[in-house]
Amino acid sequence: MKIVAFDPRRHKRAGFACGHDDLDEYLRRYASQSLRNHLARVYVAEDGDAQVLGYYTLSAASLGRDELPESLAHRLPKYPVPAVLIGRMASDHRARESGLRVGSRLLIHALKQSLHAAGTIGVQCVIVDSKPDAVAFYRRFGFIPLTGDGLNLYLPISTIERLDAHDE
Ligand SMILES: CC(C)(COP(=O)(O)OP(=O)(O)OC[C@H]1O[C@@H](n2cnc3c(N)ncnc32)[C@H](O)[C@@H]1OP(=O)(O)O)[C@@H](O)C(=O)NCCC(=O)NCCS
């Protein structure tokens, strides 16, 4: 399994099924438009046959100070903070059942890509828009819920830097 930039001409995705129709449909119908319109970068986990096993999207975003829990907000200025958004992430249910750990590998890839971006432009944190049943998945990786419905979570880039340094 490899994680590469999504190539709409090459990647097979007709049968992709993660359990959420909107995420399946996005990959089939809208991911290539998002790329064309520079709304997101899309990365896929592919098998040796260019079949998509999982994917995620990354976009630039900003986070209002009032969305942060007070314990984090007090250290930051009053204007919005720059962020990288993981807008969507999904693994195919068959890949999940084979224990390939596609989700973890995609998430680690997304954090490394965010760190890479943070070397070029200011990025204070990575945020995710989660489905209700995936919040626990992100929390395992240290994401902290933002204020609101609990479906938006936050990971400071400083935490990712520390994890990355620890890895080397
Ligand atoms: C959430 C999702 C991306 C995780 O991908 P995955 O391929 O199952 O992830 P992994 O196999 O790498 O799992 C890593 C660990 O997280 C756990 N995990 C997986 N999904 C979880 C969830 N929803 N809640 C809590 N833990 C979860 C696994 O059991 C595994 O635990 P272990 O380390 O003890 O073995 C995948 O389940 C999915 O596509 N779900 C449907 C779409 C979705 O909800 N997307 C996320 C929001 S946009």
* Across 67-76, 83-92, 139-148, least confident range: 67-76
Q: Is the dihedral of CA 6, 12, 17, 21 positive or negative?
A: positive
pLDDT at 51: 97
Banded model confidence at residue 168, pLDDT cuts 50, 70, 90: low
Would you tell me the crossing angle of helices 102-118 and 157-167 to the nearest 10 degrees?
Answer: 110
Banded model confidence at residue 74, pLDDT cuts 50, 70, 90: confident
**Apex CA 88: angle with CA 122 and CA 12, to 5°?**
120
Å from CA of 20 to ligand 1 middle: 13
Å from CA of 136 to ligand 1 middle: 8
Banded model confidence at residue 50, pLDDT cuts 50, 70, 90: very high
Encode pLDDT of 137-158 as tens digits: 999 999 999 988 889 999 999 9
State the DSSP H helix or E strand holding residue 163, giving kind and residue range, or none if neither: helix 157-167
Pocket-testing residue among 137, 138, 152, ligand 1, by greatest number of atoms within 8 A of Cβ: 137
Point out which residues pair with 44 in neighbouring strands: 4, 55
Asked if 106 and 90 touch (Cβ cutoff 8 Å), the reply is no
pLDDT at 141: 95
Å from CA of 118 to ligand 1 middle: 26
Q: Which residues line ligand 1 (CB under 6 A)?
A: 18-20, 23, 88-91, 96, 101-104, 130-131, 133-134, 136-137, 140
Residue predicted with more confidence, 64 or 46: 46
Q: Mean pLDDT in the chain?
A: 94
Closest residue to atom 21 of ligand 1, CA basis:
137
* Domains of the chain with bracketed CATH: 2-167 (3.40.630.30)
